[in-house]
Structure 1
Amino acid sequence: MSGEEEGFVIDIEINNELDQKIVDQFALFDELDAKKIDSDNVGTFLRSLGLYVTNADVEEIKEKSFHSQIPNAYHIGLLLPNITECFLKHKFLPKTVEQLFEAFHLLDPDKKGSLDIAYVEDVFKNQGDQFDDKEMAEFMVRAVDHRSQKVNYEYLINALLQNVLDENDLFKLSDKIALEPPQEKVEEIIAETLKDEGEKDEENSLNRNLN
């Protein structure tokens, strides 16, 4: 599988189920089927995979995946190996519910159980990992209790955890793949087994002839 970019070809190497799931998710962001997405969408794409990346993390991955021939976009063929590595090395794991509750207790010293929308927007846009306007808007749709017009813990944590998969968790899939021997090793094991079986049959045949 490959993608052509103005005279040169970028290969898309899909080696396992994890790679395929990442490529399938990328397709949701690649509306023109150009095998690339704009720079501004890389962070949203990474978070949609369940990677809890900061803006600095996003920039690091973009730097590793940069190609001078496509300066304003990022090709899946270049992003894929760097993203797969994140899963296999367990980088950017999601926070647990307990950790999130502990963090938001710090934002709510009076223990009201909810936060003002303007305050949450200020925290996420101007402090720590800074959300851009698009990310903030998408996040607040899920985080706000529209009856009270407040952000309560349950809504907020559900919004933060909405990308964490259960049985389809890509981190779990990466663990499974890491435990599987590479194809050449499988072929070597099969060859050795067949050889051993052949030697046993030859030995049994020789023993029968001697008897």
Structure 2
Amino acid sequence: MADDSQKQQELSDEEVVRQEIQKKVIAAFDIFDHEANKTVDVREIGTIIRSLGCCPTESELHDLISEVEEDEPTGFIRYERFEPMMIRVLMERRYRPENEDQILKAFSVLDEEKKGYLTVEQLTKYMTEEVPEEAFSQDELEEMLQASVDPEKHVIYYKDYASLMTVDETA
């Protein structure tokens, strides 16, 4: 009898988590649903997924998009196809971002002179040329630079930026 009660509690806990995730997915999707018709431009899917704390590679992102696209791609993704995939991804805690220490290590490798910052040109080169299959799009690069470049010095102080790139696991 106690086992049944425990199983019911676990199921209800999982359902509460699922409902909370669903609310976040709806809110994120709705931001980009400009026509209020439960569709978004396929080019917005990466931003939506990343806003939910997932950091898939470009290849993984293309796989996710393929999973939710219509059989005949229209350029738009319907919420009813996006929601089950996104809830599953979030429930499985897939595509979690690296922690701040790992991000700092990656930036410090790029900062060969150990100055504590990268120039816009350096970061642009690394993000668009070094690993072609994982290259950032122009929109992604502009978004990253907008968030990371110090407005006075026009460089990226990566120690400051690394904390912005991490996700609060309790949120």
TM-score, scaled relative to structure 1: 0.67
Aligned partner letter, 2:64:
I
Instruction: For residue 134 of structure 1, report the CA deviation from its aligned partner.
Output: 1.5
Partner of 1:107: 110
Partner of 2:137: 132
Question: Residue 96 of structure 2 is aligned with which of 93, 103, 106?
Answer: 93
Question: Residue 54 of structure 1 is aligned with which of 57, 74, 95?
Answer: 57
Aligned partner letter, 1:88:
M
Matching of residues 164-203 of structure 1 within 5 Å: 164-165=167-168, 167-168=170-171
Question: Bigger radius of gyration, 1 or 2?
Answer: 1
Partner of 1:150: 155
CA distance in 1, matches of 2:51, 2:105: 24
Partner of 2:28: 25
Superposition RMSD on alpha carbons, in Å? Answer: 1.7
The gaps in structure 2 that reach 5 residues or longer are 1-17
Deviations 1:160-205 (A, max 9, x none): 23xx24532xxxxxxxxxxxxxxxxxxxxxxxxxxxxxxxxxxxxx
SS in structure 1 of the partner of residue 101 of structure 2? helix
The gaps in structure 1 that reach 5 residues or longer are 1-14, 169-211
Any conservation in 1 of the 2:100–2:163 contact (CA below 8 Å)? no
SS in structure 1 of the partner of residue 34 of structure 2? coil
The structure-2 alpha-carbon separation of the partners of 1:123 and 1:159, relative to structure 1 and needing over 3 Å to count, comes to farther
Q: Sequence identity of aligned pairs in percent?
A: 21
CA distance in 2, matches of 1:135, 1:159: 15
SS in structure 1 of the partner of residue 77 of structure 2? strand
Partner of 2:83: 80
Partner of 1:118: 121
CA distance in 2, matches of 1:121, 1:69: 35
